[in-house]
Amino acid sequence: MPIKPLFIATDLMRARQILSSWTSAKRLSSDEADIIIRMIAQGISEGRRKGLALADAEWPTDFKNHIEELRDGLGVKS
């Protein structure tokens, strides 16, 4: 399954932090670590995207502009 680059730079930074906290990750090659980092970043990005979609569906229309500002600030494409 190909990994789509749908994440932003902060997702990659957080994914590296997560992987470095795992002690068994020290046994991975750099290629394996890169794949796992991208998978973690993808999960973070998908979670954010679904969270924004839920907020968009649940919040009253007064907050719609705020959601758009969040999307623009994060670089999320709708």
Say if 49 falls within a structural domain.
yes
- For residue 35, the model assigns a pLDDT of 92
Compute the distance between CA of residue 74 and CA of residue 16 in angstroms, rounded to an integer.
19
- For residue 54, the model assigns a pLDDT of 82
73: domain range? 30-78
Q: Write out the DSSP string of 3-47.
A: PP----HHHHHHHHHHHHH-GGGGGS-HHHHHHHHHHHHHHHHHH
Q: How confident is the model at residue 1 (pLDDT cuts 50, 70, 90)?
A: very low
Say if 46 falls within a structural domain.
yes
Say if 6 falls within a structural domain.
no
- For residue 74, the model assigns a pLDDT of 61
For the whole model, what pTM was predicted? 0.65
- For residue 26, the model assigns a pLDDT of 79
Say if 17 falls within a structural domain.
no
Q: What is the pLDDT of residues 18-49, one digit of tens each?
A: 998 987 777 888 899 999 999 999 999 888 88
Say if 60 falls within a structural domain.
yes
